[in-house]
Structure 1
Amino acid sequence: MAAQKGKDLLLKLDADGNGNFVSVAGLRSKRLAFNSQTVDVTDSESAGRWRELLGGAGVQRAALSGAGIFKDAPSDAAVRERFFAGAVSRWQVAIPSFGVVEGPFQVSSLEYSGAHDAELTFEIALESAGALSFTVMP
């Protein structure tokens, strides 16, 4: 796979709950991480005392974070309202030449900052709140 432009990773929100995803922010930096806990089933009879793991038993999660500027006032409001309500909403992350991750996320952190001679910026963190789907991009 050839190098990809980081700016092409998009964050979208299903703002109306009807599957109509819209871009909510101009993220300048983004990170999507997948994690899976392991379940250790090692016992005194494990071969050579090597650790054994139980496949498919751990908790999986995804964490998304980014920093940038909001696209417009309604986008800022949509994200801010979800944070203060503790709402779980459907989000979509498009990863160029890879695929689209979609599912429920909760905004776990929202930070605003700005300098007197620059634009207002924000940092956001989202945590998965249920099963995610992955669709391969052609």
Structure 2
Amino acid sequence: MAIQRGKDLLLKLDDTGAGSFVTVAGLRARRLAFSSDTVDVTTADSPDRWRELLAGAGVRRAHVSGAGVFRDAASDASVRGTFFAGAARDWQVVLPDFGTVQGPFQITALEFAGDHDGEMTFELTLESAGALVFTAH
């Protein structure tokens, strides 16, 4: 993967369920993290008492966070409505020259802030809520 501009990482939402994804926010800072739990199967018979893990058995998850400004009133309303509905919706996280991660995410945090002489900003946290698909570019 070549060096990329951070601003090219996009966050898109399908709030209608029709498979039509729309970029919802002008994110100034964003992060996508993957993690998985481990399942320890170490026993007294484990070689030299080294820990053993059961491959492929842990829970996998993705965490997306970002901060920025909403593109328009419609994207603000979509995200806000999704949060207050407590709904898991399909999202896309587009990483240029790498790929797209797509699947259900739930908004677990939504914060708004603003200075008296500046624009309104927000912070958003998404947690995966089902199987994700990665498509390489």
Q: TM-score range by the shorter chain?
A: over 0.9
Three-state SS of the structure 2 residue aligned to 1:124 is strand
Secondary structure at 1:11's aligned position in 2? Answer: strand
- Listed one character per residue, the Cα deviations across residues 5-61 of structure 1 (whole Å, up to 9, x for unaligned) are 000000000021110000000000000000010000000000000000000100000
RMSD across aligned positions (CA): 0.5
Q: Which runs of 4+ in 1 moved over 3 A?
A: none
Compute the displacement of 1:85 (Å): 1.0
Structure 1: 5+ residue runs without aligned partners?
none
Residue 82 in 1 paired to residue 82 in 2?
Answer: yes
- Asked if the contact 2:2–2:97 (Cα under 8 Å) also holds between the matched residues in 1, the reply is no
Paired amino acid for 2:33: A
Identity of aligned residues (%): 66
Alignment of 1:31-70 (within 5 A): 31-70=31-70
Write the letter of the residue equivalent to 1:40.
Answer: D
Query: 1:83 & 1:28 partners in 2: Cα distance?
Result: 20
TM-score by length of 1: 0.98
Q: C-alpha distance in 1, partners of 2:23/2:4?
A: 19
Q: What residue in structure 2 maps to residue 107 of structure 1? A: 107
**Partners in 1 of 2:15 and 2:83 — Cα distance?**
13
- Alignment partner of 1:125 is 2:133: no
TM-score (normalised: structure 2): 0.99
Q: Give, in whole Å, the separation in 2 of the partners of 1:15 and 1:128.
A: 16
AA matched with 2:95:
I
Task: Write the distance in 1 (CA, Å) between the matches of 2:85 and 2:48.
Answer: 52
Question: Is 2:101–2:135's contact at 8 Å kept on the other side of the alignment?
Answer: yes
